[in-house]
Amino acid sequence: MKNYKAAQLRNVSVIAHGGAGKTSLADAMLYTAGMINRLGRVDAGTSIMDYDPEEIKRKISINSSLAPCEWKEHKVNLIDTPGYFDFVGEVKGSLRVSDGALVVVCAASGVEVGTVQVWDYSEEMAIPKVIMVNKMDRENADFNKTFETLREAFGTKVAPITIPIGSESDFRGVVNLVTNKAYVYEGDGKTPKETAIPPEIEETVEKYREILVEAVAETTDELIEKYLEGQELTPEDIQIGLKEGIHSCAVFPVVCGSAIKNIGMDLLMDALVDFLPSPLDIPSVKAKNSKTEEEISISVKDEDFSALVFKTISDPYVGKLSLFRVYSGSLKSDSNVLNSTKGSNERVGQLFLMNGKEQMPISQVNAGDIVAVAKFQSTDTGDTLCCKEKPVIFEPITFPTPVLTMAAAPKSKGDEDKINVGLTRLMEEDPTFKVEKNATTGQLLVSGMGELHLEVIGSRLNKKFGAEMVLSDPKIPYTETIRGTVEVEGKHKKQSGGRGQYGHVWLKLEPLADGDFEFVDAIVGGVVPRQYIPAVEKGVREAMVQGVLAGYPVVGVKVTLYDGSYHSVDSSEMAFKIAGSMAFKKAMQDAKPVMFEPIMYVEVTVPEEYMGDIIGDLNKKRGKILGMEPEGTTQKITATVPMSEMLKYAIDLRAMTQGRGTYVMRFEKYEEVPGNISEQVIEAARAAKEEE
């Protein structure tokens, strides 16, 4: 593949609701452009874009994948993204380095929940879009109905540039409304035959062309003036207006076709090349001078090299692959760059163009293009690469926060190290996947975007690192504390031939308002020798690890050592440590022990029609509603809810809102567990102990 200049490049993310046919569409475009000699099929596992074993097994896209194709002296970098909610991080990373988006909609299903979601992501980044109504050959395909749902969802900026000839099994061609020409596709679909517009759709063509002309006329003063004067807009006028309107996000053109039948792919490719912006057309990208923190703008015309890593792949053959978009300058194989995010130098080996899983070596990459490099040492997704002479840092990619947390344990004993290493590597590859060890419960916690996400992580762990993990609900990090004040005696006395053991203390336990623990030495007169007092505190601290109610850590306690006695021969640090532990455990029983639970601050954003259901559900979960406020077309509900009630909330919310609701959650505080809930927790802890 030849080296293209920035004006000839198109970086396009293919986005959609799951099942709309994006991957098949990307394969059909590659086939039409002559990049592959066989039309891949997702259901047969032969797709160029869905090459991961998990994707082939599940017949869905899990990763974003990149493939370039050449069309009319241009290079189009297609980034096929997943359509399922659990893999939305891949969508966000891909959109960040794209100059345009291809939004795919099924002609039978119309606008779906995921369509709106990915549309909103692209709107946040002000990315120009082309809409593809795919699967026109499918049963119940209805272009008219789908077009109406598009306008209802995204407004009157949506305008058609091709419409179908026939539908369902009779779908055979398209009409280009820009040129007013009809095309019928036969055979492999690569060479359509121009034909007369069928008489039965002439009125439909006229109706949709008027919608197109109205949308285009509003893009420039010259065109609106010509339109208002009653002059007919020429195909050249429409093309000029379309390009202007698409670049400014004032027009979202709609094309139609069938990826499976390879109908309409040539006109779709024409639309991407003719109307979507090149890297030269986009505004300068904001960055910071990493030395001075000064805000700067980086243009594709700048000579100094800079790039953003948007994806990391763990390849079993070449190791770690870093995919990045070059924003300025150029880069050659076998050179050096600065990772300004980490402050480290990286050796650039061979540069690759990615064609699905295939890696095509190249010697140089120029501004605006997307490439991959293997075996970077410290570079991760979101890092900036640049030349040492002009260090800059791009704004990091904003990835969604994981919403589902599970406890992970090895299926086989002895696999702990394999699991830890494997999960850490997978976390480098996927910014929406997190791993941490909970200090309170001791469990290894894995967090992701949903059940399917964590299931896929488990499969990859097994295939890539040879270890299996078992997922379960995480333990809630309850704590125990006291409500009363008590004074207790702890005496450890043991005599058995020779030297015995003797330790004797009096402790006072009382609630501590601020802090987890305070130990006060109130000994006077040396009744407990100074060298044994640290041992008493150590015994108390060790006893605090497991409370008397359900074995959870004890917090919020002030312990005062105020009396005791010792034996000049039999006393020892160990004896006083045991005495302190005994006294604390006894005191806990008598000091009105209670359990505390973590309370989470939750923000739920949903369409207004779901508010009643969401508030009712949060109340059932012992939540306290703090407030409600509108956010555009949605409502944001804030509440505090016990962590124990929120373990599967990602699944619950998705079910209640058909995937339209989102939420964020963070730890807020600890509160006392209600009596009935406390009894259930204590009983569960006792049952678990008996099983052991």
The enclosing domain of 561 has a CATH number of: 3.30.230.10
| CATH code assigned at 605 | 3.30.70.240
Tell me if 155 is assigned to some domain. Answer: yes
Rounded average pLDDT over 399-428:
90
Residues 337, 270, single domain; the answer is no
Q: Are residues 358 and 290 in the same domain?
A: yes
The rounded distance, in Å, linking the Cα atoms of 451 and 438 is: 20
Looking up residue 442, the CATH number of its domain turns out to be 3.30.70.870
pLDDT score of 690: 76
Torsion of CA 656, 661, 664, 667, to 10 degrees: -20
Residues 56 and 163 in one domain: yes
Identify whether residues 350 and 424 lie together within a single domain: no
For residue 685, what pLDDT is reported?
87
- On whether both 427 and 463 belong to a single domain, the answer is yes
What is the domain range of residue 310?
285-394
Do residue 445 and residue 489 come from a single domain? no
Report the DSSP beta bridge partners of residue 502.
493, 571
Residue 496 has pLDDT above 80, yes or no: no
> Does residue 44 have a pLDDT over 90?
no
Radius of gyration of the chain (CA): 32
Query: Residue 610 is encoded by which pair of tokens?
Result: 């779901």
Provide the number of structural domains found in the chain: 5
Other CB atoms closer than 10 Å to residue 516's CB: what's the count?
A: 13
The token pair at 614 is: 């969401």
The whole-number pLDDT of residue 498 equals 65
Hey, what amino acid is at 359?
Q
Does position 33 have pLDDT exceeding 70, yes or no?
Answer: yes
Over residues 408-417, the mean pLDDT reads 89
Instruction: Provide mean pLDDT across the span 137-145.
Output: 96
Do 364 and 421 lie in one domain? The reply is no
Convert the pLDDT of each residue in 525-570 to its tens digit.
899 999 999 999 999 999 999 999 999 999 999 999 999 999 988 8
Q: Please report the pLDDT score of residue 692 as a whole number.
A: 61
Roughly how many angstroms between the first and final C-alpha of the chain, as a whole number?
A: 64
Task: Give the pLDDT score at 31.
Answer: 94
Q: What is the mean pLDDT of the chain?
A: 93
pLDDT score, position 61: 93
Please indicate, yes or no, whether residues 384 and 409 belong to a single structural domain of this protein. Answer: no
Provide the pLDDT for residue 497: 63
Q: Which helix (H) or strand (E) holds 469?
A: strand 469-472
- Angle value at C-alpha 55, between 51 and 57, nearest 5 degrees: 110
What percentage of the chain has pLDDT greater than the value 70?
Answer: 99
Least confident of 76-80, 246-250, 251-255, 435-439: 435-439
Supply φ then ψ for residue 571, to 5 degrees: -75, 145
In a domain, 207, yes or no: no
Residue 255, domain CATH: 3.40.50.300
Q: Which amino acid is at 621?
A: K
Domain presence at residue 212: no
- Examine the domain organization and report whether 63 and 139 are in the same domain: yes
What is the domain-level CATH number for residue 318? 2.40.30.10
CA 651 from centroid of its chain's CA atoms: 15
pLDDT reported for residue 294: 84
Residue type, 648: K
Cα atoms in the Cβ-side hemisphere of radius 13 Å centred on 289? 8
Contacts of 210 (CB under 8 A, 6+ apart): none
Is 410 inside a domain boundary? yes
As a 3-state breakdown, the chain gives helix, strand, coil percent values, each rounded to 5, of 30, 35, 35
Please tell me what DSSP assigns to residue 37: S
Looking at 530, 556, 591, the residue that finishes a domain is: 591
pLDDT-derived band at 464, boundaries 50, 70, 90 = confident
| pLDDT tens, residue by residue, 203-216 | 999 999 999 999 99
Question: What residue type is 681 in one-letter code?
Answer: V
**pLDDT tier at 88, thresholds 50, 70, 90:** very high
Q: Which of 260-274, 287-301, 431-445 has the lowest mean pLDDT?
A: 287-301
Domain final residue pick, 562, 591, 620: 591
User: Are 300 and 413 part of one and the same domain?
Assistant: no
In a domain, 205, yes or no: no
Percent of the chain whose pLDDT exceeds 90: 80
Which of 532, 560, 591 delimits the end of a domain? 591
Q: Is pLDDT of 319 > 80?
A: no
Buried b (16+ CB within 10 A) or exposed e, 524-542: eeeebeeebbebbbbbbbe
What is the phi-psi region of residue 155: left when phi exceeds 0, alpha when psi lies from -120 to 50, beta otherwise?
left
pLDDT band at residue 316 under the 50/70/90 scheme: low
Can you tell me the distance from the alpha carbon of 111 to that of 75, in angstroms, rounded to the nearest whole number?
29
Q: Is residue 691 part of a domain?
A: no
Query: Would residue 234 count as lying in a domain?
Result: no
Give me 182's structure tokens.
């009809």
Mean pLDDT, range 123-141, rounded to an integer = 96
Give the closest residue to 519 by CA, choosing from 553, 562, 574: 562
pLDDT of residue 295: 87
The 10s digit of each residue's pLDDT in 608-647 is: 999 999 999 999 999 999 999 998 788 999 999 999 999 9
Least confident of 73-77, 189-193, 368-372: 189-193
Do residues 340 and 380 share a domain?
yes
One domain, residues 292 and 271: no
pLDDT the model gives residue 39: 85
